[in-house]
Structure 1
């Protein structure tokens, strides 16, 4: 398996990592102010969120419905994505885990440049993204009809591109090749962190969501098995877009929220990843896709509560674009493994990664459309240990 090389960016004093497989992403700092100030080698801050940037109302989107663009009445809009970007910046993170759907509706490069970049561009060198369905799939809902980008805008933005707009084959979003669509891993201290691409129902994956038939998703799953087997660090986080287990009504129309694959065909395919992560005693799984925040109890691959060996799941799809509806209410969620959840405000999760444990703190920063400041009274925090 190829290993990434670590490229020093002397202009800013930050080690920037190109990834072609497993990348060693130890971050080094100078004596300047954040983000290059000295941090304790025993503790790292990881900001985590997905589902962020509204579609810009520009000439490239002139034919698209106004309700789907920044300023649409049901969207968070530019104000929300700026609010969450400031929240993440104020955390002074060592890295930013982006959980997919960074840019709506189909993640064209111009969309990234005119929306996501405006709010989140200041954190770009720290961002460690995973793609979502809006970066790969076509969008033909609510009067819209846009072709899928198959990651072209996503890779073009995060990896850079040539003068013609063709994405670089390697960069901080992983490889952009026929044989690797942006899965990679990196390390922060005692933590091994894996970013995966679940967008298997796309042209890039041959619309093949099998994890065992030799197709691209199967190759990604084999890579994950090897990556986890080779990892020597005691703590592991994996993140991808569609959750295996659900908390909202958007993902539970046909499958029970507590069943593997409630998030759709991608979530069902990711059940194989959960099995591998469970086998290797992974510490946490982070997902987006559902426009809400939810914390789920430690679960085995069948979605059963497993206090001793299960993996807690955090859904953090509250980056700013829009909000969904929770399945059930507090104390009576459709998925009994949901401990706490909110879908009335936008916010980013602050994860502190310690030598053999972690703590989390989630507090939203901006109410969603139709909600008032009382939505900001929600908070969720706690701590856990590595297995």
Structure 2
């Protein structure tokens, strides 16, 4: 156990409230946010990506937020820095987000693959991480079908995953579908090219999926519904959220991509989604409790 790390966490949690929350002006969602506690017909998902490092206690601050939010926890990859090793998971991830391991549905990131075949990731999360070596799976929440994907596979592995995804979506023709993975197809980050996930996007778009969550870039960004080609599509487009705000140091933005509606830099926090029959609402909640982005959408 890294006692220095834990003492540093306990001694500086309050300082996180003063971290700058630099917002690049973005278009308002123009929608009414969800309110109150979830009803029996609602399901809550909460999480982020790019999470735990023993070099800071910022993941402890976001884990403390999880302590107060019921529901399914998701991770968007890069769970344990720097290398996704067994030691990284036990010393850095387990004391914070690991408190919620029993309700977590994870995905791996590129840092998990700094360790051979991401074995420590699969060993730490067990069956919840999906089949070892693959790391993709699906589950249902209320009337929603949820798909957890692995953006870090080889070219062959990505092709096999895409075939599996198309079959899975065909077998689960839910009105509302959400997918999440580590790499975003669209991001206003600097120097990122994540075209490897375009096939995933094409399968989701063709099946009429609604929402995609990703991490990898350490900031918060929301896009308007769009096609895999980046064309705005209010009728059938996928709405993407980039939520790389789980605790690892944050990034700055590069040039703004088309269809980007909200961009928040300098802000650690969580995405909370409330899934309903035929609709969903979102809140990006920063450390300290302020809601920095919120809105509501309907399924296709």
TM class, shorter-chain normalised? 0.7 to 0.9
Of the three residues 242, 245, 259, the one matched with 1:337 is 259
- Bigger-Rg structure (1/2): 1
Q: Could you give the per-residue CA deviations for residues 161-217 of structure 1, whole angstroms, max 9, x where no partner exists?
A: xxxxxxxxxx0000114xxx11100000101000111113xxxx3xxx2xxxxx222
Question: 3-state DSSP class of the match of 2:121?
Answer: helix
The runs of at least 4 consecutive aligned structure 1 residues that moved more than 6 Å come to none
Task: Select the structure that is richer in helix.
Answer: 2
Q: Is the 8 A contact 1:360 1:383 kept in 2?
A: yes
Match of 1:347 in 2: 269
Structure 2 unaligned regions, length at least 5: 1-36
Of the three residues 163, 172, 175, the one matched with 2:128 is 172
Write the distance in 1 (CA, Å) between the matches of 2:247 and 2:106. Answer: 16
Displacement of 1:378 after TM fit? 6.6
Question: 3-state DSSP class of the match of 1:104?
Answer: coil
Q: Is the 8 A contact 1:288 1:316 kept in 2?
A: yes
Q: Could you give the per-residue CA deviations for residues 48-75 of structure 1, whole angstroms, max 9, x where no partner exists?
A: 2100001x3xxxxxxxxxxxxx1xxxxx
Displacement of 1:85 after TM fit? 0.8
Of the three residues 97, 104, 114, the one matched with 1:127 is 104
Write the distance in 2 (CA, Å) between the matches of 1:272 and 1:316. Answer: 21
State the TM-score, normalized to the length of structure 2. Answer: 0.84
Write the distance in 2 (CA, Å) between the matches of 1:235 and 1:121. Answer: 29
Q: Is the 8 A contact 1:298 1:305 kept in 2?
A: yes
1:72-221 counterparts in 2 under 5 A? 77-78=56-57, 80-93=58-71, 95-137=72-114, 148-159=115-126, 171-177=127-133, 181-200=134-153, 205=154, 209=155, 215-221=156-162
Structure 1 unaligned regions, length at least 5: 1-37, 57-69, 71-76, 138-147, 160-170, 210-214, 254-262, 329-333, 367-375
Write the distance in 2 (CA, Å) between the matches of 1:49 and 1:155. Answer: 19
1:1-387 counterparts in 2 under 5 A? 40-54=39-53, 56=54, 70=55, 77-78=56-57, 80-93=58-71, 95-137=72-114, 148-159=115-126, 171-177=127-133, 181-200=134-153, 205=154, 209=155, 215-249=156-190, 253=191, 263-264=192-193, 267-328=194-255, 334-365=256-287, 379-387=292-300
